[in-house]
Structures are given as structure tokens and as C-alpha cells.
Amino acid sequence: MNAKNSIFQYLKPYSALFALGLLFLLLSSLLSLSFPLLLGKLFGAGAALEGSLDDVQNTFILLIGVFGLQAMFSFMRIWLFSMVSENALANLRQVAYKKMLSFPLDFFHRNKVAELSSRMASDVSLLEETFNSTIAEFFRQIIIIIGSLCFLFFMSIKMTLVMLGTLPVMILIAVFFGRFVRKISKETQNQTALANTLLEEALRSILVVKSFVSESFEWAKYKKTTDFAKQLAIKNSLWRGAFVSFVLFCMLGSVVFIIQYGLHLKLSGEISEENFFSFLFSSIFIGASIGSLPEFYAKIQKSIGASDRLMDILSQPTENMLWDTPIQAIDCHKDLILQNISFTYPARADVLVLDNISLCIERGKTTALVGASGAGKSSLLQLIMRFYAPNSGGIYLGEESIAHFSLWDWRSQIALVPQEIALFGGSIRENIAYGKPNASEAEIIDAAGQANAWEFISQFPEGLDTFVGDRGVQLSGGQKQRIVIARAVLKNPSILLLDEATSALDNESERLVQGALDTLMQNRTSVVIAHRLSTIQKADKIVVLEKGKIVEQGTHEDLIQKQGAYYQLYHA
């Protein structure tokens, strides 16, 4: 399915409502065609002074009736198209968000989250306007033009051919113009998304911005981007205005010419008074409809540009996650074996991060990974989580490759405490319960206690319902870290991955939390990364990494006696 067609797939479930809306659109458009005929009859009778007062009144009553039906049909058309567009776009938003959640981690490393948010907001809003009114009005004007031309041919073939003389030129210009506007609109959307990205990034990092006195620098970047977007938008409007003005000039000029030509035909007796006025009003209707088409056409082209970009994003490959599959238990009472693992990040394919690593992570025991920054420790955890797949080699649970498990089933067995603290902008309760959404308050409090978090939580006036702010800005680094640990405690995982889990804690908090972690890691397969080697001395196995290779492994005592790489790190 290509990008252009897929956007309309969201309208399919509501095709019946859409068809009914098209029916009311057709009826209201056909009723509009009766206006010039009735007005021509009314003016023709008045001008000729031949029509009786009863004929004038009857025509007037008929016009009022037509206006009433037109109002009812228009209401139904607008309501039905709104129902279709709002439902379709709600589905689009939901599918887009669900698909974005399924994108691999590398996708978010290659794309800015702020730009993706902008796409979801601005592009979908543009589509909303198009589906709500623009497409309907575009087809309405086409129906009016075609229907009016049919009536005009019956009235006077000569005058109709004269009026149609300007259409081929305008159609050719419209095709050229539509492609040009679509290109400029796409560039404008890209610049708007970039401006929103700069804004969101600066506000999210406001502490850094202020500490480096970079307010002027950030404002200058934003101003440059918005100025460029402004210039593109103005250029777009200039071309659109020039085209609309050209069409209006041609149509109004042709109407004046038709009036002159029609008067000549009327005086020569080739057309009646009533038909002359009907033809005149129909010509004005056609002129107004053709004059509005370029604006609607430009909006549709702009929406196609937005949908192309949105569909390009949604066409990206996703992780193999089965959303609706119930979680099935995986037997984690087996060793986790890494066999001949080599790995490079997709964005840095020339940098070998892990080089032919083989390692046995024994079930129910603690394995610690140590080494300098960039040695590949965090990359190993990401491979275990299946955020990435190794370039070669495999990871096995016993004899079964973890690639054979569904991602949902596999990750449900693991709790990761990352180095970068991630809190949601809700309450402390919501953040801890993220590890187990149906947990009771007693379970949440117990998890907070084990992570040494309940002491400071209980001191807040609102307790667990305390609002943490955007990314936990209302809490200290140590408090945020303990809430993240409490979240992992509550999940009660089979496999525990700790990436510098105590890095943000002071000495006293670290001692208490480390005790809680020691309890949590008992009889649980655990992989721990720590720069503070004092925190992993009790690990069952310590693995030393250098430049993506394992250079040593063993217990703390064994490695100290060897006086090798670990010995150097420990005494450093």
C-alpha cells in the first residue's frame, strides 16, 4: 500500500456514512442549480412586465422552499462528513501512536521526538480540516459547475461555448500550480515541525539554557527557523493569490463578455428574456464555483503533502510485537547464554561496539559488568532487552533463542533500571505502579519501602498522590532514582537489569538502597553495571569489558589476585 492511498484507508470503516454524506452533498448541490433558473424566471417576468403577481409570489414561495431544503441538506452533509472525519482521524491518531510505540529504539535515535509530536499535531489537524470541509466543498463546486453547464447547453449552445473558451487554459495552470503549491507546503510543514522541535527541546532543557545564559542563542535559532517558515508561507500565499486572481479575472471577464454577447442574442430574438437571466445567473454561479476551486485545490494539495510525510513515518518497520497476545510465562529458571555476539549500532555501522562476546549469565545469580565508558556494558543490556539484534551470534535462554519469544512475553519477565532516570509527569503513585498497574496501595507502599523511598514520600502532604512534574522535576535526583527502583521492585521480575542504579544517590541513600537491591537480587538472575566497584564486590561473577571484548571474568577476590584489568580499575 503506497503512502498516498493509505491515508484513505482510515475512511473505509465509515464508507456508508461517507456515501450518505455524498448523497446529501449531491442533493444540496442540485438544489443550488435551481437558484439561477428560479431567479431567471422571477427577473424575466418582472423585466417583461408580463408575469402576474401570482406567478411572482409562487416563484418566491418556491424559492423559500428550496432554501429550506437546501439548509436541511447542508446540515446533514456537514454533520455526516464531520462524523466520518472525526472518527477516521481519531483512528489515525490511535494507530499512529500505537505504531510509534512499536518502533525500534533506533528509530527514536534517528528522529527527534519533538518533531514526531509536531507531525502528530499539525499534520493531522491539517487533514482534519480537509476531511471535514475542503473535500466536500471541492466536489460540491464541481457538481455545480457540471450541472450548470448542462443547463446552459439547453438554453444556448453558442453562449456556453463562448464561456467554456477560458477553461482549458485555467485547467493547465491549475495542474502546474497544484504541484508547485504541494512542494512549497511540504517545505513549510517541515520548517514548522523544526521550529516546534527547537521550542520543545529548549523548554525541556531550560535549566541548561539558563545556566549557560543561552536564551539569546536559542531565541535566535527559533527566530531563524520561523522566519524561513514565514517566508515559505508567504511565497505559498503569493502564488495561490496570483492564481486565484488570474482565475477570477478570467471568469469575471468572461461573464462581462457573455452578458454583452447575450444581450446581442436577446435583441436578435435568439434567446428569451427568462432564459437570458437564467443563463446570466448560472454563469455567475459557475464563475463563483470555478473561482473557489483553486483555493480548495491548493488546500487539498497541502494536505497531501502533510499526509505524505505522516505516511512516510508510519511506513517505517516496527518491532515484532503482538499487542493482543496474552502474556505467556517463559521458564526463566535457566541460564542466559550470550554466544559469539558482535554488534554495531545501525547509525554507526563502522564502529564495532561488541566483538565476539561469549558469556554465561547464571540463573538466580548476580553478574556484574565493569569497564571504562564505551566498553559496551549498556549495549549488552540493550541486546538482552532486545532493543537491538546482534549482527552475529545469538542470545539463548537455556537452549532456546530469545528471538523465538514474542517481545511482549520476553520483556514482561525483565525489569530495567536505566542510567537515565525516566519519570512520567503524573503522581508518585502512578510512576511506581507503572511496574504493575493493578497493584494495591499496600504493594506500592511496600515497594517504596524496599527502595528506601517511603520515608520521603510519607513526608509529602499528598503522599503517593504528590505530583512529580515534567520528568520528575519536582524531586531530587536521589528521590527520582529511588522511585524508579521501587517501580522495578513492584514488577517482581525474573531477570533484573541495573544500569548504574545507584548513581544518583548520596552515600547514605546508596547504602540503604543497595541493601534493598541485594534483597531483590536474591534468587533472581541479575545483571548489574556499576562504576562504583564497591557496590558489586559481592557479585557471583564480575565481567571486565575493554573496547567491546571480555578481558577478565571471575569473583572479586579472584580478579584482585590476578592483578589485571579489574585490579587496575579497582585501585583507580
- Grid cell in block for residue 409: 512475553
For 323-435, list the strands marked E by DSSP: 336-343, 354-361, 366-371, 392-397, 400-401, 414-417
Q: How many CB atoms lie within 10 A of CB 196?
A: 21
Candidates 366, 391, 375, 380; CA nearest to 338 is: 380
Q: CB–CB of 484/491 below 8 Å?
A: no
Strand order of the β-sheet with 495-499 is 414-417, 495-499, 525-529, 366-371, 541-546, 549-554
Out of 128, 218, 500, 552, the active site residue is: 500
How long a stretch of residues is the chain?
A: 572
- CA nearest 510: which of 472, 544, 478, 476? 478
Look up residue 503 and give its three cell numbers: 548513581
User: What DSSP state is assigned to residue 471?
Assistant: G
Angle of CA points 377, 378, 380, to nearest 5°: 70
Task: Enumerate residues 6+ apart whose C-beta is below 8 A from 37.
Answer: 151, 278, 281, 282
CA nearest 394: which of 385, 403, 405, 406? Answer: 403
Question: Cα 157 from chain centroid?
Answer: 53
- Of 336, 403, 406, 409, nearest in space to 369 by CA: 336
Query: Which pairs with CB-CB distance under 8 Å and at least 24 residues apart come from 510-514?
Result: 510/535, 512/452, 513/451, 513/452, 513/481, 513/482, 513/485
DSSP letter at 326? Answer: P
Distance CA 199, CA 203 (A): 6
415 contacts 354 by C-beta, under 8 angstroms: no
Task: Indicate if 500 belongs to the active site.
Answer: yes
Residue 286 near residue 148, CB atoms below 8 Å: yes
Are 6 and 96 in contact by the 8 Å Cβ rule? The answer is no
CA 78 – CA 87 distance, rounded (Å): 14
Task: Please state at what angle helix 157-164 crosses helix 215-267, rounded to 10 degrees.
Answer: 150
The arrangement of strands across the sheet holding 354-361 comes to 354-361, 336-343, 392-397, 400-401
* Residues classed as catalytic: 500
